[in-house]
Amino acid sequence: MTDAPSPYVAGAAYIDGRFMPIAEATIPITDWGYRRSDVTYDVVGVWQGSFFRLDDHVSRFRASMDAFRFKPQESDEDIRALLNRCVALAGLRDAYVAVDCLRGRPPAGMPYHPAYARNYIAAFAVPWISLLKPEVMARGAHLVVAETVRIPANSVDPRAKNFHWADLTRGQFEAHDRGADFCVLLAEDGTMTEGPGFNIFVVADGRIVTPDRGVLEGITRRSVIELCQDLDLPVEVRPVPVAELRDADEIFLSTTAGGVMPASRIDGRIMGNDRPGPISQRVHEAFWSRRAHGWHATPVDYGAAAA
């Protein structure tokens, strides 16, 4: 007799106190998390059996929840444990691990106001997802500056991770129509912000710059800044006018779902030899080499699956 396959092979989820196989993880259609995008989230990677910067992701998630006034029942310790258990149940060595906090909705008889809703956590672990296919990573992403402007930070603060993706999605259709892989969105003042799921670094004359505002403060972005400082690569965090992006020697992107991802074209202009530039490549290699040596790693406790 052979063992039955685990019900968690495609992934494991947690919703409001219960663990389940990913295919059984659903939320009510009336939830404001769905109907109003009234939800915040975070995504942490597991690579070679370890979380990357788990505490930093959980702290950022707590800050996002506070910014949107979510109060779930779980503590930060609970969140770390439930994320670990999702990965352990799925038995994944390389995983994409998402955690959301949803508004819920006010119970019958209460005022129809978000203050009365019971907020709750939903999380899942599935096999690792990368924004770029390996062949695009090898040739470098093709980027375009979108006409669509990023939602102003004083309407929806991008530092609190959110599902208000209509601007990023509209920008992605612009990119698709123009034969590119990804869009870059500008702020209303014409400075560069970010793209759908990543921060952006511009390299010019050996200096690396990334915006100081109007963006999610990416955990990968923070890691790249630390890495550049260690490698003695000059890095500046300040407003980046679009002209610097358009005239860049190199551009690279940073995200949990892919790490450091070089670009090779901007608005149809070929940078360098139409392949990832030398500084982008150096940062990319240093990032993965440090990861392989346990940089900011928290090993997954696979024994938690049995708990």
Residues found near ligand PLP in the complex (CB under 6 A):
43, 194, 197-199, 216, 218-221, 254-256
Q: How far is the CB of 24 from ligand PLP (least distance, A)?
A: 25
In order, the DSSP letters of 273-290 are TSS--HHHHHHHHHHHHH
Closest to ligand PLP by CB, 104 vs 262, is 262
Q: How far is the CB of 176 from ligand PLP (least distance, A)?
A: 18
Q: How far is the CB of 111 from ligand PLP (least distance, A)?
A: 33
Closest to ligand PLP by CB, 74 vs 167, is 167
Gyration radius of the chain's alpha carbons? 20
Closest to ligand PLP by CB, 186 vs 216, is 216
Closest to ligand PLP by CB, 56 vs 267, is 56
Q: How far is the CB of 211 from ligand PLP (least distance, A)?
A: 11
Q: How far is the CB of 110 from ligand PLP (least distance, A)?
A: 33
Give Dmax over CA atoms of the chain in angstroms. 67
| Whole-angstrom distance, CA of residue 242 vs CA of residue 108 | 50
Buried-state track 14-31, b at ≥16 Cβ within 10 A, e below 16: bbeeebbbbeebebeeeb
Closest to ligand PLP by CB, 222 vs 246, is 222
Residue nearest ligand PLP, CB atom distance: 218
Q: Give the dihedral sign, CA 149/152/157/163.
A: negative
Closest to ligand PLP by CB, 259 vs 277, is 259
| Whole-angstrom distance, CA of residue 280 vs CA of residue 266 | 15
| Whole-angstrom distance, CA of residue 200 vs CA of residue 252 | 6
| Whole-angstrom distance, CA of residue 254 vs CA of residue 257 | 9
Inter-helix orientation angle 54-67/76-90, to 10°: 120
Closest to ligand PLP by CB, 218 vs 262, is 218
Inter-helix orientation angle 278-292/219-230, to 10°: 100
Question: Is the distance from CB of 228 to CB of 100 less than 8 angstroms?
Answer: no
Closest to ligand PLP by CB, 199 vs 280, is 199
Q: How far is the CB of 201 from ligand PLP (least distance, A)?
A: 12
Q: How far is CA 246 from the centre of its chain?
A: 24
Q: How far is the CB of 304 from ligand PLP (least distance, A)?
A: 24
Q: How far is the CB of 253 from ligand PLP (least distance, A)?
A: 9
Question: Is the distance from CB of 124 to CB of 21 less than 8 angstroms?
Answer: no
